[in-house]
Structure 1
């Protein structure tokens, strides 16, 4: 009797497993939709492939991750996010591509979609020293994110108007973590409060990230920003990156100053 019950249980489990496998086999996936090896943005094949704009950034496929060294914002041992931008392949760029998707209530939208972890990360590492964070976040999405075709509503179920924006912010934060400029420089002995050869800083970042950064300095010769360039294979959120570089790799002089944060503040910046 026990043997019959055991055999019955085994058969039932087998049937359930087969049913789940069959159902999973028919579930849509990235591979079904865009293929396992989609073309690279800004390549000849990107313009000749039959895949649509939800699978490949065909129009503006040169991407740039911009990170700030803002001495009045964020933690003292972290760079902060400026934004994720996409340029045309010739270096010019589009902006504000979809007025209907220009939002101002970013925090409210993220809360309504229960994106609490993302919101916390953005508050920590995407601050705005000049005003309210929602103003900064909405500016970056409205100007740059709306120009990325793989984040358009038509690429999502039921033409979801917000998921592309959420994926834009989420992808930007993941890239910011991936390319941790502060840690990369510190590992090579480059720390705030000192002067360095601009070429040395470039070489260090190239060694760490396998890409030549565009270093940006202010009029006082202080390092304030890095731009990291890449092309993408498939949708941006997949983060299948191909490093590249800009021919004009810096506006800094031969020597730059890597300033300390909060130079005139008495409050502990770790508590910011």
Structure 2
């Protein structure tokens, strides 16, 4: 007789083969402040098509599970194809630029995000839908406006982490997660903002779980 442990082991393997591993519960929509990406000891490189706008840019739309884990690289048989999103490239260059070095046209950044994260949302959206949904969310979520309306501007000053979260919650209706990095002097600064989105990738929701990480109680908002 097969033992219970081996039986469930077989079920687990069958689940992986059938693609159940590609399921997810919600998305993190992650927006990045370019000034904080660049204001580090390693610096940054502008895209080959020029300096991005002084605004938050998209880092990714990441499927996640309610327990805090996430699927990744779910379908190697559906690799990124820039030809499928040619009508979005102009908007992606503005709203989803790469600041990594060496300079690039950002295509490799989009490829990484689709291959690692986007392929895990194929049950809901194809490649074009994935990038279109992210751009739609970006057009609806104006983080810089929310912050400036609360007197929080990218001027190298330090602001209360509590006030930053409050300003974004006022604008979106939901509490965000704030990720910090450190500048060359070791100061915590506003780096990325996580907003939670429903399974369909369209509606803002309260986050089922937050990431982990440290920020100071007062953090820098650098210029760009």
TM-score tier, shorter chain, comes to 0.7 to 0.9
* CA RMSD between the two structures: 2.0
Q: Secondary structure at the match of 2:68?
A: coil
TM-score under structure 2 length normalisation: 0.74
Whichever of the two has the greater Rg, that structure is 1
**CA offset digits 1:121-147 (Å, max 9, x no partner):** 101111111142110001001100100
Match of 1:79 in 2: 56
Which whole-Å CA distance do the structure 2 matches of 1:96 and 1:248 have between them?
A: 20
Match of 2:13 in 1: none
Q: Say whether 1:231 aligns with 2:194.
A: no
Which whole-Å CA distance do the structure 2 matches of 1:242 and 1:222 have between them?
A: 25
Match of 2:149 in 1: 187
Deviation, structure 1 residue 178:
1.1
Match of 2:107 in 1: 134
Q: Which has the higher contact order (CA 8 A, sep 6+)?
A: 2
Aligned residues: 181
Q: Taking structure 1 as reference, are residues 129 and 186 closer, same or farther at Cα in structure 2, changes over 3 Å only?
A: same
Match of 1:68 in 2: 32
Q: Say whether 1:150 aligns with 2:123.
A: yes
Query: Within 5 A, what are the aligned runs for 1:162-173?
Result: 164-173=126-135
Which whole-Å CA distance do the structure 2 matches of 1:88 and 1:208 have between them?
A: 25
Deviation, structure 1 residue 260:
0.2
Q: Taking structure 1 as reference, are residues 85 and 124 closer, same or farther at Cα in structure 2, changes over 3 Å only?
A: same
Which whole-Å CA distance do the structure 2 matches of 1:174 and 1:148 have between them?
A: 16
TM-score under structure 1 length normalisation: 0.62
Write 1 or 2 for the structure with the bigger share of helix. Answer: 1
Which whole-Å CA distance do the structure 2 matches of 1:120 and 1:211 have between them?
A: 30
Match of 2:85 in 1: 110
